[in-house]
Structure 1
Amino acid sequence: MTTFHCAVLVRPGSVTERVRIETDPAGNIVNIATGVEAAPGDVRLATVVPGFATAHSHAFHRLLRGTTHADGGDFWQWRDAMYRVAGLLDPPLMFLVARAVFAEMLVSGFTAVGEFHYVHHRPDGAAYPAPHAMEIAIGEAARAVGIRLVLLDTCYLDGGIAAPLSPQQRRFGDGSASGWLSRWHSLREVIEGDRVTLGAAIHSVRAVSPAAMAEIRDGLDTGTPLHIHVSEQPQENADCIAAYGDTPVGVLAGLGMLDARLSLVHATHLTPADRTLIGASGCSVVMCPTTEADLGDGIGDALGLATAGARIAIGSDQNAVIDPLLELRGLEAGERLSSGRRGRFSPAALLDAGTRAGYASLGISSTVLATGDPCDLVEIDRTSLRTVGSAADQLLLTATASDVRRVIVGGRIVAEGGRLTAGATSPEVLLAEAFAAVAAA
């Protein structure tokens, strides 16, 4: 059992001084006392916030950082470059890349990640001889660094609406919804354990037909978190309306799939009717501001969705930037740019989006540092050039990942001073190893 003493604990809507957090051997909180001094043996922390979650990540996209920015074009042109990188991956390389990216996430303050994973098979679409080799590699990468992982194993059947998979996409597919479900249930038997759990994802309405989505809906346990890309691009909406007579959100509503377990990723180009349906459903919307800006996707209506009743979370998506504080700042910046007004999201709402809402989207129980919750914490430096003078509850609007001092997952310090505590390894070393392996592939 470990006890942490926080000089200042910032939770959504509250700032509390002198807080002792006691954990059990499993790393869950068993007691919280406020207004008390540290006891001998306590791990002393300064200003602390709950652990952040990136509810949407494609780890291997990190390989494109700094290589596609001068190319111009749009999302579809960038996607071609992404397919070329995806074609290089095999299980050993996937492990190296995921380990490096998860390490970068940890030292930056992300304590949990939802990995939206669809590179399942060999490039020709054939299964690997060792079942679930790619998925197991990702799980082992998470365990190696100590991050909490929800593997969002993704169904990807079509290359476009009613179109076959392209040669670059063959390795994503399982032939049918029943084929994907069979593999998914088999994967569940071998992947879970040691802070790794299995979730599910449907790539998009472009890649999975309504009939296949209905089969997936009925074939998953009701408690399984389910994610889907929705309305990231206007072309996706136009194609969906032409094929099905409705928007992607409308198709999901018609299938009865808009509910609390569903997370809609991006949701950038919505109609007013879409927003109403989403708000009434209790589902989550995972917005990825740095990626949506990098790819020129557009600015989603985050505040409108939140006002309608949606739960807003954040994701790092293509990992062109790995920084929970910049993602949250981007959420607020998008609202300011589109409205011409400041303070659109309160600091409490931003912190909730980065912590509790992200955990909920991933199916991880958390009421943000209450008894029974996982003890996932991030200590932030309030004395840096960026943060000095900041009010504790407004650190999200001044700090960056460079100000993360220590990261705790499951009651254990896993990162300190930009390095993993296991072997004092830096993410830079792991990234260099991954890039060297990519160059040799």
Structure 2
Amino acid sequence: MQVTTYWLEHAWLGTRVEPGVALGVRDGRITAVREGVDTPPPGAQVLRGLTLPGLANAHSHAFHRALRGMVQVGSGTFWTWREVMYDVAARLTPDTYYALARAVYAEMALAGITAVGEFHYLHHAPGGVAYADANAMGEALIAAAGEAGIRITLLDTAYLAAGFGEPPNHHQLRFCDGTADVWAERADALKDGERVRIGAAIHSVRAVPADQLSTVASWASARNAPLHVHLSEQTAENDACRAMHGCTPTRLLADHGVLGARTTGVHNTHLTDEDIALLGGTTTGTCMCPTTERDLADGIGPAPALQTAGSPLSLGSDSHAVIDLFEEARAMELDERLRSRTRGHWTAAALLRAATADGHAALGWPEAGGLEPGALADFTTISLDSVRTAGPPPRLGAETAVFAASAADVRHTVVGGRHVVRDGVHAAVPDAPRALTDAIAALHG
């Protein structure tokens, strides 16, 4: 295949911003990176602004996008929010989920996201009846990501109980496979693809009985696949776990072989010092979702301590209160400033790494997340002359991206060397707002 050249007006190369960078791309990968190229080579595709590696959204529930605006009315808690979520989940079919997810993933591409980790537990029809294709809902998500042009890691989720020792309630029957062995048999039918990775997830220690945690972990290990788990998002989860098992959720996961370098704990909000040491000592990752954590009043997780202990950080938009990885990165730093009343817990470069390379690694795409030879040709370009980004010199592009830019500043998104978003327009879903409106109206109508 012929080499395509992209000329980047400015490029973030992991530690610095360089002007005039030419990328050679062939077969979906970067073949060469040339610095000091002052003018676009003949025939090059020109990307003006600051080009970054593609962003990785490490934690998504696509159907939660239909809750935006609805769950911000009035007050309440995580648990009252959950009741609204159940109502939306009950209305989805494979066809309507495809339409919604296609629009949501297009919104992600427009925000510079080139890979998503879809924490997928909406498996069955209402009442828990299996579809003729037992993975119809998961396949709808895979097809939606493909149409929207982004990579997907489908984190097929075991969700077996309503709580410690409690059977699933009527809402949760759609999520439940009965046992971890039955879950594993269904998940076995899902296959990796060029832009698809299949991983596993434990919804939470509330939703998977302790004696079945190792089954899920072993399935992921046998496939060398990512394994994610909601962890200590709520203090109520910690209290219930101690009452049932006499230990924290983190210790329970450790005792059943769940922690490790392929595992990512999502939220990791309410942890003890021992929990932090266990996660860091096993190099278990942490996915922070600050916009959701603040929207649901969950709290601020101990991200600096986790990273110091050895837990790599990634970022996710989770419930999609907003879809903006720049805001997630910014919020992680700014939330910590509010808690500690000190500044500068992470450099802009470190926050971008969480949004790019470390996020991709958490999703099983270690070959993505950098502008370097051999890497997947996934990158995004933000404007440096919008009302948000204008002013700072380009050499401060990383700081501008993290602390000033938003998803609205994304001009181009390239996945596998092909434009998915060009000049702010999605190639396959040119009217993404209408697609979102129609898909959400079909659920609420």
Give the TM interval when normalised to the shorter protein: over 0.9
2:172 match = 169
After TM superposition, the score normalised by the length of structure 2 is 0.95
Given candidates 39, 42, 46, the residue that maps to 2:41 is: 39
1:287 alignment partner in structure 2: 288
CA positional deviation for 1:17: 2.1
Letter in 1 for 2:372: A
Structure 1: runs of 5 or more not aligned: none
1:15-30 mapped onto 2 (5 Å cutoff): 15-25=17-27, 27-30=28-31
Higher mean C-alpha deviation, range 327-336 or range 209-218? 209-218
Residues 2, 22 of structure 1: 8 Å contact kept: yes
Runs of 4+ residues deviating >4 angstroms: none
Aligned amino acid, residue 279 of structure 1: G
Q: Deviations over 1:312-331 (max 9, x none)?
A: 00000000100111111111
SS in 2 for 1:285: strand
- Residue 4 of structure 1 aligns to a residue whose secondary structure is strand
Query: What is the match of residue 5 of structure 1?
Result: 7
Task: Report the 3-state secondary structure (helix = DSSP H, G, I; strand = E; otherwise coil) of the residue aligned with 2:436.
Answer: helix
Match of 1:179 among 182, 188, 197: 182
2:374 match: 372
Q: Does 1:336 align with 2:337?
A: yes
CA deviation map 1:111-157 (0-9, x unaligned): 11000000000111010123311111111111111011111110000
SS at match of 1:240: helix
Matches of 1:99 and 1:309, distance apart in 2: 36
Q: Counterparts of 2:181 and 2:325 in 1: how far apart (Å)?
A: 36
SS in 2 for 1:186: coil
Q: Secondary structure in 2 aligned to 1:121?
A: coil
Q: Describe the SS at the equivalent of 2:129.
A: coil
> Residue 430 of structure 2 corresponds to which residue in structure 1?
425
Q: Provide the secondary structure at the position in 2 that maps to 1:98.
A: helix
Tell me if structure 2 keeps the 8 A contact 1:418–1:426.
Answer: no
Q: How far, CA to CA, are the matches of 2:381 and 2:168 in structure 1? A: 45
Of 39-48 and 356-365, more deviation after overlay is shown by: 39-48
CA displacement 1:407-430 (0-9 Å, x = unmatched): 1111111012332123x6121021
C-alpha distance in structure 1 between counterparts of 2:96 and 2:214, whole Å: 34
Q: Does 1:400 align with 2:406?
A: yes
Secondary structure at the aligned position of 1:94 is classed as helix
Shift of 1:108: 0.9
Q: What is the distance in 2 between the residues matched to 1:259 and 1:168?
A: 32
**Map of 1:198 onto structure 2:** 198
What are structure 2's unaligned runs of at least 5 residues?
none
Q: How far apart are the structure 1 equivalents of 2:187 and 2:374? A: 29
Looking at structure 2, the residues matched to 11 and 269 of structure 1 have their Cα atoms a distance apart, in angstroms, of: 35
Matched-pair identity in %: 44
Provide the C-alpha distance between the structure 2 equivalents of 1:57 and 1:63, rounded to a whole number of angstroms.
13
Contact 1:233 1:297 in 2 (8 A): yes
Show CA shifts across 1:328-359 (max 9, x none): 11111111001111221111110101000100
Q: Counterpart amino acid of 1:2?
A: T
Contact 1:143 1:194 (C-alpha < 8 Å) held by counterparts = no
Q: Deviations over 1:237-289 (max 9, x none)?
A: 01111111111111111123221100000000000111111111112100000
Tell me which residue corresponds to 1:212: 212
Of residues 145, 150, 153, the one that matches 1:147 is 150
Q: For the residues of structure 1 that align with 2:13 and 2:240, how far apart are their CA atoms?
A: 42
Q: Please state whether the residue corresponding to 2:387 is helix, strand or coil.
A: coil
What code does the residue aligned with 2:435 have?
L
Mean Cα deviation higher: 210-219 or 283-292: 210-219
Structure 1 residue 184 displacement after superposition: 0.5
Normalised to the residue count of structure 1, the TM-score between the two structures is 0.96
Q: Which amino acid aligns with 1:326?
A: E
Find the aligned partners of 1:89 and 1:389 in 2 and give their Cα distance.
46
Rounded Cα–Cα distance in structure 2 between residues aligned with 1:417 and 1:291: 29
Question: 1:300-311 residue pairs with structure 2 within 5 A?
Answer: 300-311=301-312
Within 2, Cα distance between the matches of 1:355 and 1:7?
20
Aligned residues: 435
**Whole-Å Cα distance in 1 between the matches of residues 223 and 124 of structure 2?**
27
Give the AA of the match of 1:325: F
Aligned to 2:354: 353
1: distance between equivalents of 2:431 and 2:345? 37
How many Å separate the matches in 2 of 1:410 and 1:169?
37
Q: SS at the partner of 2:118?
A: strand
Tell me the secondary structure at the aligned position of residue 264 of structure 2.
Answer: strand
Q: What is the DSSP-based 3-state SS (H/G/I as helix, E as strand, rest coil) of the residue aligned with 1:407?
A: strand
- Cα displacement (A) at 1:32: 1.3
Deviation at 1:222, TM superposition (A): 5.0
Please report how far the alpha carbon of residue 8 of structure 1 lies from its aligned counterpart in structure 2 after TM superposition.
1.2
Pairwise CA RMSD of aligned residues?
1.2
CA distance in structure 2 between the partners assigned to 1:45 and 1:83 by the alignment:
43
Q: Offset at 1:71?
A: 3.0
Q: What is the rounded CA distance, in whole Å, between the counterparts of 1:426 and 1:11 in structure 2?
A: 32
The residue type equivalent to 1:201 in the other structure is A
